[in-house]
C-alpha cells in the first residue's frame, strides 16, 4: 500500500502541473512549448507508473503487456499531439494518434480477450460516429481526409467499446476498470470536439473542450498502467479508501451539530417510581432475562412499583445476542398490557432488546430489518430507563442497539439518537452478585469501547477525556471486582467507567474489533464482551505502528511505563497489560467456535459493518480481515488450515 500511496501523491502533483500548462497553452497559443510540456508530463507520468509497477512485482504477464502497450501508446499520442500543431504535419499527427489508440486497444485486450460484447459495444459507437459524420452538413473533408477520419473513428470506437465492456469483467479491480473507462471516454469526447472544430467549422469553445478533456484523459490512462497492472493485493483499493476517509471526515465535521445527548443519571432503582409518578405513567414494561430475575435483582424494583400502584408487565425472555423474534415477543406484551414506558434491567443484550422494542412501538409498520444502519427510526421512543447490571456494555448511554437476525444469523447495529435512554440508573448494588466470568468479559468490553474510541480518527477533546477516565477506572478496579465482587466502591467505579466509555464511543465510534465480534456473536452466539476481550490485543498489535503514540500516552497515564521510556516501548507495555489482564481473568486467546470454512463469510459481514463508518487507524478489506480472523482460530482448526 505504501507504493500505491506514493503513486497517488505523485500522480496528483503531476496532474496539477499538466493541467497548469494545458491552461497556459489555451491562454497563450504561442509558444507551443506549453503544449509540448503537457504532453511530456503525461508520458513521464506513464513511465513513472510503469517503474512503480515493476517495483510492485507484477507477476501476471497479461498485466505487464498491458503496461508496455499503454506506455508506447502514450509516446505515440505525444508525437501526434506535437505534429498536429502545424497543418502540413496534421495527417502524420493524426496517424500517430491512431497508432496510439490502437496500442491502447491492444493493451486492453491483454486484460481481457476480445469477445462478442466488445464487438457489439464498439460497433454501436462506430455507427454513432458514422451517423454524425454523415448527417452533419458542416463537415468539409478534402482529399483522402474522409477515409482517414473514418479509419480513426473505427479505432477509437474499438478502444472505448472495449473499455466499456471491461467494466463488466472481474479479473481486474473495479477501480482500475473505472479509471480505464473514464480515460477512454474523455479521449473519445476530446476527439469528437476536435472533429467538429477542425472539419465542421464549430465554435472556438470546441477547441477548448478538446484540450480540457484530452490532457486529463491521457493522464488518467497513464495512471492505469500502475493501478490496473500492479500486483494484485488483498488491500482495500485506493478509491474505496478515499471514499471511507471522506465519509468519516464529513461525519466528524458534523459531530458538533448532531443531536447527541447524555442520559439523566440516577444512583438507585428507588428513584424510578418517583419519576414515573411525576410523569403520570401507570403501566410499565420491565425487560430483563430469567437469570437476573432469578437472582432477585429486580425484586426491589418490582415491589416498589407494586406498592406505588404502578402496573408492571414483565418480559424476561431476553437471550444473549437478542433476536428479532425476541423483540417481537416483548412488543406483544407491551401492547397487550397497554404499557407507557420501558425499564431495561440487565446487561447490553437486555438494553438493546428494550431499545428496539421501543422503536417498534413508535414504528409499528417498520420491521426490525429495515432499521439496520444509521437514522432509520427518527421518532421519540416511549420513556426508557436503563438499569445496567453489568459494568461494560455502556448501552445505557449509547445510540446503538445490536440485534441478531435469527433467520440469517447476521448480527448488525441499529443507530439512532432516539435510542439513547432518557435515564441511566447506575446502582452498584445491581452488580454485586455478578459472576466472575461476566465481571471480566463485560469489564473488558468497556475497555474495548474506550480504547477503540481513543485510537480512532474521529476523537474530540471530550471523548478523549472520557476514554482516558474509563481506562483509568478499569485499570484500578476491574481486577479487584473480579477477585472481590463485594467491593462496593470498585463496583461503583466500574459502572462509571462503563458509562464514560459509552459516551466516548457513542461520539467517536468503535472499530474492527466490534465488527469482528458482532459477526462471531451472530454466527456462533459468542458473548460480545468475551469476543471483544479476545480480539482486542490482536488488533492493537496490528495497528501499533500507527497508534503507538496514543497507546504510550495511556501507558504513561497508568504508570505502566515511566515518562523517560521510549514511546514504542511504552506502547508495547500497554498492550502487554491488556494481555496480562486477560490471562489473570482466564480469558482465552482464541474463539473455540470459529471454523476455517466460515471465515470468508464472517469477514464480508465485518467489512460491511466497519466500512465506511468506523474511523479505524488502518482501513482493511474483507480479505485482510480474513487474516485477523485466522489469529482467533482454535489450535486444532489452525493446524487443519
pLDDT (tens digit, 9 = 90+) per residue, 337-395? 999 999 999 999 999 999 999 999 999 999 999 999 888 999 999 999 999 999 988 99
| 344 and 351 Cβ atoms separated by less than 8 Å | yes
| 392 and 502 Cβ atoms separated by less than 8 Å | no
| 532 and 632 Cβ atoms separated by less than 8 Å | no
Backbone angles phi, psi at 613, to 5 degrees: -70, -45
pLDDT at 5: 64
User: pLDDT per residue over 483-513, tens digit each?
Assistant: 999 999 999 999 999 999 999 999 999 999 9
pLDDT at 111 over 90: no
List CB contacts of 605: < 8 A, sequence separation 6 or more.
410, 411, 515, 518, 519, 522
Q: Cα separation of 629 and 600, whole Å?
A: 9
List CB contacts of 142: < 8 A, sequence separation 6 or more.
none
Buried/exposed 454-479: b ≥16 CB within 10 Å, e otherwise: bbbbbbeeebbebbbbbbbbbbebbb
Q: State the Rg of the chain over Cα.
A: 32
Q: Where are the beta strands (DSSP E) in 104-242?
A: none
The grid cell for 129 is 460516429
Could you give the dihedral angle defined by the CA atoms of residues 468, 473, 475 and 481, in that order, rounded to the nearest 10 degrees? -150
Q: Cα separation of 497 and 473, whole Å?
A: 6
User: pLDDT per residue over 551-563, tens digit each?
Assistant: 999 999 999 999 9
Task: Specify the range with the lowest mean pLDDT, choosing from 163-177, 240-254, 263-277, 570-584.
Answer: 163-177
Instruction: Give 272-327 as a DSSP string.
Output: HHHHHHHTT--EEEEE-BHHHHHTTTTHHHHHHHHHTT-EEEEE-B--SS-BHHHH
Instruction: Give 90-137 as a DSSP string.
Output: HHHHHHHHHHHHHHHHHHHHHHS---HHHHHHHHHHHHHHHHHHHH-T
User: pLDDT per residue over 456-491, tens digit each?
Assistant: 999 999 999 999 999 999 999 999 999 999 999 999
User: pLDDT per residue over 392-416, tens digit each?
Assistant: 889 999 999 999 998 888 888 899 9
The grid cell for 325 is 423474534
> Which residues share a beta bridge with 311?
283
| 124 and 161 Cβ atoms separated by less than 8 Å | yes
Q: Per the confidence metrics, is the pTM higher than 0.85?
A: no
The grid cell for 95 is 496517424
| 316 and 289 Cβ atoms separated by less than 8 Å | yes
Amino acid at each position: 500500500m505504501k507504493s500505491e500511496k506514493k503513486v497517488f501523491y505523485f500522480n496528483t502533483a503531476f496532474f496539477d502541473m499538466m493541467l497548469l500548462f494545458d491552461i497556459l497553452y489555451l491562454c497563450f497559443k504561442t509558444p507551443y512549448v506549453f503544449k509540448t510540456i503537457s504532453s511530456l508530463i503525461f508520458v513521464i507520468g506513464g513511465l513513472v507508473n510503469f517503474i512503480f509497477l515493476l517495483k510492485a512485482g507484477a507477476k501476471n504477464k497479461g498485466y505487464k503487456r498491458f503496461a508496455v502497450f499503454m506506455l508506447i501508446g502514450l509516446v505515440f499520442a505525444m508525437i501526434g499531439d506535437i505534429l498536429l500543431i502545424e497543418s502540413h504535419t496534421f495527417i502524420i499527427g493524426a496517424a500517430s494518434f491512431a497508432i496510439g489508440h490502437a496500442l491502447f486497444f491492444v493493451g486492453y485486450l491483454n486484460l481481457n480477450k476480445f469477445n462478442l460484447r466488445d464487438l457489439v459495444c464498439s460497433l454501436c459507437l462506430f455507427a454513432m460516429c458514422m451517423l454524425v459524420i454523415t448527417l452533419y452538413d458542416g463537415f468539409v473533408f478534402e482529399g483522402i481526409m474522409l477515409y482517414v477520419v473514418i479509419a480513426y473513428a473505427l479505432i477509437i470506437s474499438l478502444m472505448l467499446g472495449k473499455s466499456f465492456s471491461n467494466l463488466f469483467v472481474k479479473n481486474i479491480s473495479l477501480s482500475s476498470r473505472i479509471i480505464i473507462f473514464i480515460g477512454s471516454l474523455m479521449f473519445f469526447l476530446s476527439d469528437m470536439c476536435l472533429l467538429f472544430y477542425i472539419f465542421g467549422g464549430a465554435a472556438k469553445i470546441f477547441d477548448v473542450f478538446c484540450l480540457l478533456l484530452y490532457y486529463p484523459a491521457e493522464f488518467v490512462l497513464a495512471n492505469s498502467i500502475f493501478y490496473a497492472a500492479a500486483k494484485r493485493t488483498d488491500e482495500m483499493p485506493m478509491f474505496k479508501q478515499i471514499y471511507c476517509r471522506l465519509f468519516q471526515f464529513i461525519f466528524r465535521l458534523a459531530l458538533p451539530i448532531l443531536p447527541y445527548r447524555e442520559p439523566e443519571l440516577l444512583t438507585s432503582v428507588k428513584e424510578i417510581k418517583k419519576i414515573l409518578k411525576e410523569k403520570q405513567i401507570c403501566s410499565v414494561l420491565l425487560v430483563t432475562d430469567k437469570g437476573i430475575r432469578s437472582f432477585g435483582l429486580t425484586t426491589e424494583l418490582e415491589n416498589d412499583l407494586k406498592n406505588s400502584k404502578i402496573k408492571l408487565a414483565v418480559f424476561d425472555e431476553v437471550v444473549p445476542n437478542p433476536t428479532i423474534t425476541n423483540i417481537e415477543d416483548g412488543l406483544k406484551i407491551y401492547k397487550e398490557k397497554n404499557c407507557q414506558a420501558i425499564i431495561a434491567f440487565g446487561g447490553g443484550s437486555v438494553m438493546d432488546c428494550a431499545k428496539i422494542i421501543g422503536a417498534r412501538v413508535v414504528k409499528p409498520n417498520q420491521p426490525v430489518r429495515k432499521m439496520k444502519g444509521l437514522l432509520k427510526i427518527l421518532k421519540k421512543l416511549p420513556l426508557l430507563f436503563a438499569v445496567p447490571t453489568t459494568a461494560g456494555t455502556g448501552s445505557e448511554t449509547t445510540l446503538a442497539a445490536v440485534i441478531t437476525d435469527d433467520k440469517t444469523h447476521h448480527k448488525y447495529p441499529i443507530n439512532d439518537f432516539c435510542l439513547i435512554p432518557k435515564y441511566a440508573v447506575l446502582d452498584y448494588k445491581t452488580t454485586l452478585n455478578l459472576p466472575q466470568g461476566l465481571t471480566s468479559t463485560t469489564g473488558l468490553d468497556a475497555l474495548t469501547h474506550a480504547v477503540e474510541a481513543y485510537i480512532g480518527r474521529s476523537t474530540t477533546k471530550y471523548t478523549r477525556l472520557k476514554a482516558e477516565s474509563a481506562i483509568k477506572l478499569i485499570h484500578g478496579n476491574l481486577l479487584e471486582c473480579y477477585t472481590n465482587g463485594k467491593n462496593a466502591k470498585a463496583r461503583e467505579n466500574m459502572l462509571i467507567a462503563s458509562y464514560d466509555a459509552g459516551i466516548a464511543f457513542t461520539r467517536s465510534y468503535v472499530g474492527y474489533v466490534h465488527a469482528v465480534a458482532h459477526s462471531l456473536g451472530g454466527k456462533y452466539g459468542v458473548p460480545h464482551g468475551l469476543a471483544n476481550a479476545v480480539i482486542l490485543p490482536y488488533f492493537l498489535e496490528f495497528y501499533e505502528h500507527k497508534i503507538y503514540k496514543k497507546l504510550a500516552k495511556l501507558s504513561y497515564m497508568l504508570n505502566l511505563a515511566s515518562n523517560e521510556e521510549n514511546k514504542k516501548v511504552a506502547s508495547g507495555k500497554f498492550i502487554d497489560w491488556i494481555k496480562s489482564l486477560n490471562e489473570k481473568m482466564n480469558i482465552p486467546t482464541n474463539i473455540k467456535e470459529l471454523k476455517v470454512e466460515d471465515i470468508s463469510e464472517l469477514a464480508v459481514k465485518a467489512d460491511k459493518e466497519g466500512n465506511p463508518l468506523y474511523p479505524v487507524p488502518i482501513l482493511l478489506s474483507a480479505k485482510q480481515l480474513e487474516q485477523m480472523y485466522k489469529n482467533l482460530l482454535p489450535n486444532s482448526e489452525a493446524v487443519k488450515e
